[in-house]
Amino acid sequence: MNSAEPAWFIAECIAGNEAAIESFVRGYEAGVFRLALSITSDPADAHEITQETFIAALRSLHSYQERKSFKAWLYTIALNQSRSHLRKRKVFERLRSASTVLFRLEVQKQTSPEDTVIQSEKEAAIWSALGKLDERHRIVVILRYFQELPVSEISEILNVNEGTIHSRLNTARERLRDALKSLHGD
């Protein structure tokens, strides 16, 4: 982007000029990716954050004010996206760790070796099926069934309305049911 003409360039992007949008992305993509990579240390996460940054920036171009340099404005968005991504990742890792501990405590309560083996197989199958769910479905299942949180609290934690939580839970249950049919001999 020509730094002397940011107002024109921004107006073209807002108007949907594909060439201007492509130029915008190409002009800043490498820098945004490097910033995200330096924060997350994971190339896959950095690519995802880069995409999220440009989506967020394009959505908020109308709010850009020329008092701040365009690059600083964009990098602020990238930094916020990176931080948000790290927070989500940490929450998920804590949930997974806590759930694993809970599963192990339940397994240790079993009295017979046969029960322990059966429980371990079930646990492995459940975690395998959970691992195949996308993150938004996996998290609601963990929060609802492993952390025993009500839908209202899950809604608050994820900042998503309760109807969406119910929908995600329903979809997740269906997918888990299909994945776990072999355990029940269906």
Mapped onto helix, strand or coil, the DSSP state of residue 110 is coil
**Full set of structural domains in the chain with CATH:** 6-87 (1.10.1740.10), 110-184 (1.10.10.10)
Average predicted confidence (pLDDT) for the chain: 79
Q: What is the pLDDT of residues 14-66, one digit of tens each?
A: 888 888 888 888 989 998 998 888 888 889 999 999 999 999 999 988 888 77
Question: CA-CA distance, 130 to 139, in Å (whole number)?
Answer: 9
> Is the pTM here over 0.75, yes or no?
no
**pLDDT given at position 2:** 45
Q: Percentage of residues in the chain with pLDDT exceeding 90?
A: 19
**pLDDT given at position 52:** 94
| 163 confidence band (pLDDT: 50, 70, 90) | very high
Sequence-distant (≥ 6) Cβ neighbours of residue 125 within 8 angstroms: 180, 182, 183
**pLDDT given at position 47:** 94
Distances from the Cα of 150 to the Cαs of 54, 94, 146, in angstroms? Answer: 35, 19, 11
Q: What is the pLDDT of residues 101-113, one digit of tens each?
A: 666 665 555 556 5
Distances from the Cα of 38 to the Cαs of 25, 47, 53, 56, 100, in angstroms? Answer: 19, 12, 15, 20, 30
User: And the tokens for 3?
Assistant: 């730094």
**pLDDT given at position 89:** 77
**pLDDT given at position 4:** 45
Contact 66, 6 (CB under 8 A): yes
